[in-house]
Amino acid sequence: MSKQNALRPFLLALVVTLALLAGVIYFVRYVWQDLPLWFSLIVYILVAVAVIGYPIYSLGRWSDRAFSRLSQDQAKRGERKQRHDNSP
């Protein structure tokens, strides 16, 4: 896989994070003041979990894929080396 393909999930996570941040700013500026206090607290917690959790989850998935690619490449190299060492 090329570096551009490996970079795509990271850029997607970054764009989604920025979009969520823009949505939160809009929500706080224009909608927040009309909500009852108890509902505001619930929404605040849910928004915090989404804004903080999604990029962490996304980057975790990205690193898992990168690690599995690296492990597969190392296994292939080890397999080739082993075949080369066993040849007469």
Specify the pLDDT at position 4. Answer: 63
Collapse the DSSP code of 87 into the 3-class scheme (helix H, G, I; strand E, B; otherwise coil) and give the result.
Answer: coil
> Which residues in 35-64 are b (16+ Cβ under 10 Å) and which e?
eeeeeeeeeeeeeeeeeeeebeebeeebee
Q: pTM higher than 0.75 for the full model?
A: no
| pLDDT > 70: percent of the chain | 84
Question: 19-45 pLDDT, tens per residue?
Answer: 989 997 998 899 888 889 999 899 889
Say which residue the tokens 């003041």 belong to. 33
Q: What is the mean pLDDT of the chain?
A: 83
Question: 60-84 pLDDT, tens per residue?
Answer: 888 888 888 888 888 877 766 665 5
Specify the pLDDT at position 9. Answer: 85
What is the distance between the alpha carbons of residues 72 and 77, in angstroms, rounded to a whole number? 9
Q: How many residues does the chain have?
A: 88
